Amino acid sequence: KKVIFSGMQPSGNITLGNYLGALKNWTKLQDEYNCLFCIVDLHALTVRQNPAELRKRAREVLMQYIAAGLDPEKNIIYYQSHVPAHAELAWILNCFTYMGELNRMTQFKEKSQKHKDNINAGLFTYPVLMAADILLYQADLVPVGNDQSQHLEITRDIAIRFNNLYGDTFTVPEGYFPKVGARIMSLQEPTKKMSKSDENENAYIALLDSPDTIVRKLKRAVTDSEAKIQYTDKQPGIKNLLDIYCSITEESVEEAVDRFSSLGYGEFKLKVAEAIIEELRPLQNRFYELEKDKAYIDGIIKTNAEKASYIANRTLRKVQKKIGLPPIV
């Protein structure tokens, strides 16, 4: 079986963008592939976090993975920080990555614009830790949203560079992007991507938002004055709502436009809200059930960290040997 690796940062509430761009697709891949789904808590440290909140959110992300339908028996679901090999391989790969390459990362440029008071070295080498995540497990495919494509390219470059120097060591991974939903936009500024770290809560739908909240956020979603439901870049707000709707219902955009063309924006927004509410209802119910079962979740955290460590350490040992680090005995 081919190997899949993907992850999410516990840096905020998981959004509908994370769900449609990544999580929902992961659930469809779990039968066909050997999958690892990580909660990348070390990556979240690149932005200042409140310790108690980080701990709480990391656990919530894990429970939301499971609530969304990822089977913790079939997939390896774990925290990045529980497998020290991620940080160790990241250090090694740092020495095989050029400043010039990292300087070109658009996400670094955006994030350092946003957090001018904390442009730390971790933020700069963030893509190298991501490369380590993926390469440790010899992943073939990495299902992510479009915003991660540049990070995937650098991962491939690092893997190819290392393989050329030391012989075949890493599988060179490929990105796997959804056809619809690969880039869900902010509800408040539809030319910006929906982000879990947005200060404006109205800009995103969180997976645990109540039906009332979802309706309210949709009603406030920024649109335009064209008063016409069509799928065009000139109407980014409406386009985004169509993307959301079609990504959930798996209906084609043409069909949806056809069906909604006679509606006013208000009515259309309610249709989209309904689709979101129905999609999230089972996930939310399972989440609140899981929350009651502390021992069950604790067990998953422990056994899955062990499974991940076993695979990760195998690759790390191989790398250490190839580059000439001395063995313990």
Q: Which residues bind ligand TYM (CB under 6 A)?
A: 5-9, 17-18, 20-22, 40, 43, 130, 133-134, 142, 144-145, 147-148, 151, 182-184, 193-194
Based on CB atoms, which residue is closest to ligand TYM, 183 or 259?
A: 183
Q: How far is the CB of 135 from ligand TYM (least distance, A)?
A: 10
* 146 or 259: CB nearest ligand TYM: 146
- Here the tokens at position 154 are 């650098």
CB-wise, 28 or 321, nearer to ligand TYM? Answer: 28
Q: How far is the CB of 236 from ligand TYM (least distance, A)?
A: 13
In terms of CB distance, is 144 or 206 closer to ligand TYM? 144
Any binding-site annotation on 10? yes
Smallest separation, CB 143 to ligand TYM (Å): 7
Answer yes or no: is 322 a known binding residue.
no
**Spatial contact of 175 and 142, defined as CB atoms under 8 Å apart:** yes
Does the annotation flag 240 for ligand binding?
no
Nearer of residues 84 and 299 to ligand TYM, judged by Cβ: 84
Q: Which active-site residues does the annotation give? A: 111, 193, 196
Task: Pick the closest to residue 9 from 221, 155, 151 (CA basis).
Answer: 151
Q: Which helix (H) or strand (E) holds 51?
A: helix 51-67
Between CA 186 and CA 14 the distance in angstroms is 14
Rounded to an integer, what distance in angstroms lies between the CA atom of residue 40 and that of residue 133? 9
For the bound state, the minimum distance from the C-beta of residue 198 to ligand TYM, rounded and expressed in Å, comes to 10
| Minimum distance from residue 293 beta carbon to ligand TYM (Å) | 25
76-79 and 34-39 beta bridge pairing: parallel
Residue 222 backbone dihedrals phi, psi, to 5 degrees:
-75, 130
**3-state DSSP assignment of residue 77:** strand
Residue number, 109 or 228, with CB nearest to ligand TYM: 109
Is 17 flagged in the annotation as binding? Answer: yes
HEC sequence for 160-205? HHHHHHHCCCCCCCEEECCCCCCCCECCCCCCCECCCCCCCHHHCC
Give the three-class secondary structure for 206: strand
- Residue 145 annotated in ligand binding: yes
Query: Where are any strands of DSSP class E within the chain?
Result: 3-8, 34-39, 76-79, 141-143, 174-176
Which residue lies nearest ligand TYM, judged by its C-beta? 21
Residue type, 280: L
> Is 109 annotated as a binding-site member?
no
Order of all β-strands in the sheet with 141-143: 76-79, 34-39, 3-8, 141-143, 174-176
Is 261 annotated in a binding site? The answer is no
What are the structure tokens assigned to 63, written together? 């429970």
Pairing relationship of beta strands 34-39 and 3-8 according to DSSP bridges? parallel
Q: How far is the CB of 149 from ligand TYM (least distance, A)?
A: 9
116 is in an annotated binding site: no
Listing DSSP states for 224-238 in one string gives: -SS------TT-HHH
**Residues of the binding site:** 9-11, 17-18, 133, 145-147, 184, 193-197
Q: Which residues are annotated as a binding site for L-tryptophan?
A: 133
